[in-house]
Amino acid sequence: MRILFIEDNLRLATLVRKGMETEGFTVDAFGTMADAEVAIDTTNYDAVILDLGLPDGDGLDFIKYMRDNKKTSPVLILTARDGIEDRVKGLNSGADDYLLKPFAMEELTARVRALLRRPDGGITVKLTSGNISFDTTSREVMIDGEVIKISPREMSVLEQLMRRAGRVVAKDTIESKLYGFGDEVSINSVEANISRLRKRLVQSNASVSIHTLRGIGYLLSEQE
């Protein structure tokens, strides 16, 4: 899942980005509303985490910008404004959740996952395909009941393929979920991750295979 985080405190933005990436998210962090508007116009985000006190405007104006431009990503407001009126105003402005600073990282990630589990939110906690099970909360992948160790990027690829098992997933779609703005991406990065993941599945006797459709994308299906 790719998240847009709008926060002008660089230290906090860095801590949250690293914490969420540990939980399997890809995070683009920006400190101004202007930069965030460019990002939301060019990228399909699964969720938005938004501070209200931004140097070039109020976060509530960003929510209005999103909704006026038909951007339906769920929004979690993350702010120090703790008044009842502030919370009501934020939720009535189009936000989906409201979390006060200071906060626990565990609660933030749990709330984001809860938003994504809502209808059309895109997240199912436990995925299964063939003899593979994937708990997206604990980030644990098991084959025939045994945990297998794979890298975070391989895990992200597997999650995308399992969510669309039996359907083709475009290479560009996989890449967009793997990397945020500023990340160095090699030309064959997706192919390399697919290749390593495919080998791990074979070595672990998985009953599913990853098929390459050249020029189109990749498909996960059960072996016949």
- Name the token pair of 183: 């990340």
Q: Considering only CA atoms, which of 1, 8, 10, 3 is closest in space to residue 27? A: 3
* Identity of the highest mean pLDDT range in 59-68, 161-170, 182-191: 59-68
pLDDT band at 182 (very low <50, low <70, confident <90, very high): low
State mean pLDDT over 94-108.
92
CA 70, 71, 76, 82 torsion-angle sign: negative
Residue range 57-82: mean pLDDT, rounded: 92
Percent of the chain with pLDDT over 70: 94
CATH fold for domain 126-222: Arc Repressor Mutant, subunit A (1.10.10)
**pLDDT: which is higher, 203 or 136:** 203
**Rounded Cα–Cα distance for residues 6 and 31 (Å):** 6
- The answer to whether the peptide bond before residue 102 is cis (omega within 30 degrees of 0) is yes
Q: Is the pLDDT of residue 93 over 60?
A: yes
Q: Is the dihedral of CA 103, 109, 114, 116 positive or negative?
A: positive
| Alpha-carbon distances, residue 31 vs 12, 35, 52 (angstroms) | 11, 7, 11
Closest listed residue to residue 12, CA positions, set 58, 59, 51, 63: 51
The pTM (predicted TM-score) of the whole model is 0.66
DSSP, res 115: H
Place of tokens 């405007």: 57
Domain boundaries, the chain: 2-116, 126-222
Specify burial of residue 147 (Cβ count, 10 A radius: 0-12, 13-18, 19+). Answer: exposed
Classify domain 2-116 by CATH number: 3.40.50.2300
At residue 125, the pLDDT reads 67
Around Cβ 169, how many Cβ atoms within 10 Å?
Answer: 21
pLDDT band per the 50, 70, 90 thresholds, residue 23 = confident
